[in-house]
């Protein structure tokens, strides 16, 4: 009988925290309990950890992270020099974790997302999925206002051609190779939930009920939410610019009609002197200006897409010698076959 070396995947749970001293002890408790069960159930490696990213908190968040780190080998931390915002803090954690993990789960500190779902994420990872999206089943715990604005946002994004998963925030699992490819997206306007689906790779979804915040209040006031939504739209779509061009076209067409009307009026002698030329120029110049503006916008849109330096393709499988080594180390299904 052949003997196999069993390799369990190293999991890192990345948690961005901004002024979360009120929830942190409970979050630490729940996530470490979770990790311990997963380790003893032989689903993940014993070196799996939780990585708290302190996003420049003004309260005792970092001191807490340090003391939890001192008392438990399962807790690690990363401190950002200043408040970089949720998306940047999350990316910092993901990029750090990717260097030593086989898979990474991202979750908010406030325990709104069901931590028990992480187990399902890992099971899916063992089945061979690279990305597992946590999808909120219902939003009944959100305020009416938040629910309506969020739904409107998803609709708008989709109508603008941005592919995002309905009711998915940033609670997801990503494998090492997807994170390595995410790193190639060198963009400043981060909108991770729009970027991750662009990667491709075998993906699946897990549904859960979103709870209320365990403690403390939302760090996402309406102002930040609107800025985030606007960022999401403008980072993924040039439709607003195209809108200007279309308007210009319509006005231009209208100016031709208005011109004909004015000229006919002039011939029939119904117009006041000077009116024809005035109306003609107003419509014509207005239309031409908007058209020109839209045209310039089109070019700016192109430049904007260029400067993003987005990778044009993502390699999922590679049969060359170096690629094959890579496959053997990181393919989730490969790890499963040896652990069963």
- Confirm if 209 and 105 have CB atoms less than 8 A apart: no
Q: How far is the CB of 51 from ligand UDP (least distance, A)?
A: 13
The partner residues of 103 in beta bridges, in order of sequence, read 11, 175
Among 38, 68, 86, 126, indicate the residue that binds ligand UDP (CB under 6 A): 86
* Residue 130 or 170 having the CB closest to Mg ion: 170
Q: Please work out the total of residues on this chain that contact ligand UDP, with binding judged by CB under 6 A.
A: 16
**Rounded distance, CA 12 to CA 322, Å?**
26
- Confirm if 193 and 164 have CB atoms less than 8 A apart: yes
**Rounded distance, CA 98 to CA 79, Å?**
17
Q: Which stretch binds ligand UDP (CB under 6 A): 79-87, 179-187, 245-253, 278-286?
A: 79-87
The partner residues of 174 in beta bridges, in order of sequence, read 104, 131
Pairing of strands 103-106, 172-175: antiparallel
* Residue 225 or 336 having the CB closest to ligand UDP: 225
Pairing of strands 49-54, 11-17: parallel
* Residue 24 or 38 having the CB closest to Mg ion: 24
Among 16, 93, 232, 297, indicate the residue that binds ligand UDP (CB under 6 A): 16
Q: Which of residues 51-70 bind ligand UDP (CB under 6 A)?
A: 55
* Residue 83 or 235 having the CB closest to ligand UDP: 83
Q: Which of residues 91-130 bind ligand UDP (CB under 6 A)?
A: 108-110, 112
Q: How far is the CB of 60 from ligand UDP (least distance, A)?
A: 14
**Rounded distance, CA 171 to CA 106, Å?**
5
In this structure, how many other beta carbons lie within 10 angstroms of the beta carbon of residue 136?
20
Q: Which does 68 bind (CB under 5 to 8 A by kind): ligand UDP, Mg ion, none?
A: none
* Residue 134 or 248 having the CB closest to ligand UDP: 134
Q: Which stretch binds Mg ion (CB under 5 A): 111-119, 172-180, 191-199, 252-260?
A: 111-119
Asked if 110 is part of the footprint of Mg ion (rule: CB under 5 A), the reply reads: yes
Q: How far is the CB of 212 from Mg ion (least distance, A)?
A: 9
- Confirm if 1 and 66 have CB atoms less than 8 A apart: no
* Residue 96 or 308 having the CB closest to ligand UDP: 96
Binding-site string for Mg ion from residue 235 to residue 254, where x marks contact by CB under 5 A and - marks none: --------------------
* Residue 19 or 112 having the CB closest to Mg ion: 112
Among 10, 20, 122, 241, indicate the residue that binds ligand UDP (CB under 6 A): 20
Q: How far is the CB of 219 from Mg ion (least distance, A)?
A: 7
The whole-angstrom distance between residue 163's C-alpha and the CA centroid of its chain comes to: 11
Residue 283: which region, alpha, beta or left (left: phi > 0; alpha: psi -120 to 50)?
alpha
Q: Could you tell me which residues come within 8 angstroms of residue 81 by beta carbon, excluding any fewer than 6 positions away? A: 56
Q: Which of residues 195-224 bind ligand UDP (CB under 6 A)?
A: 218-220
Among 89, 118, 174, 182, indicate the residue that binds ligand UDP (CB under 6 A): 89
Q: How far is the CB of 260 from Mg ion (least distance, A)?
A: 59
Which residues form the interface with ligand UDP (CB under 6 A)? 16-18, 20, 55, 83, 85-86, 89, 108-110, 112, 218-220
């Amino acid at each position: 009988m052949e003997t196999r070396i069993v390799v369990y995947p190293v999991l890192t749970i990345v948690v961005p925290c901004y002024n979360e001293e009120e929830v942190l002890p409970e979050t630490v408790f729940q996530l470490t309990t979770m990790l311990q069960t997963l380790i003893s159930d032989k689903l993940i490696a014993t070196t799996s950890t939780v990585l708290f990213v302190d996003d420049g908190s003004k309260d005792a968040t970092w001191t807490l992270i340090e003391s939890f780190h001192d008392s438990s080998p399962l807790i690690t931390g990363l401190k950002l020099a200043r408040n970089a915002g949720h998306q940047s803090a999350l990316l910092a954690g993901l990029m750090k974790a990717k260097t030593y993990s086989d898979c990474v789960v991202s979750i908010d500190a406030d325990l709104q997302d069901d931590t028990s779902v992480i187990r399902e994420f890992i099971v899916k990872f063992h089945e061979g999925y690279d990305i597992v999206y946590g999808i909120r089943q219902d939003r009944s715990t959100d305020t009416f206002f938040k629910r309506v604005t969020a739904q409107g946002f998803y609709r708008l994004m989709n109508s603008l051609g941005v592919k995002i998963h309905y009711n998915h925030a940033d609670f997801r699992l990503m494998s090492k190779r997807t994170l390595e490819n995410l790193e190639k997206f060198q963009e400043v306007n981060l909108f991770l939930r729009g970027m991750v689906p662009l990667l491709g790779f075998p993906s699946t979804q897990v549904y859960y009920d979103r709870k209320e915040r365990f403690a403390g209040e939302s760090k996402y006031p309406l102002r930040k939410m609107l800025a985030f939504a606007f960022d999401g739209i403008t980072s993924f779509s040039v439709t607003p610019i195209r809108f200007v061009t279309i308007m210009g076209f319509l006005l231009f067409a209208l100016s031709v009609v208005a011109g004909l009307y004015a000229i006919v009026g002039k011939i029939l002698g119904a117009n006041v002197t000077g009116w024809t030329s005035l109306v003609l120029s107003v419509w014509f110049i207005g239309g031409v200006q908007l058209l020109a503006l839209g045209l310039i916008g089109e070019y700016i849109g192109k430049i904007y897409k260029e400067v993003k330096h987005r990778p044009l393709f993502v390699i999922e499988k590679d049969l060359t010698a170096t690629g094959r080594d890579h496959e053997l180390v990181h393919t989730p299904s490969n790890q499963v076959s040896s652990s069963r």
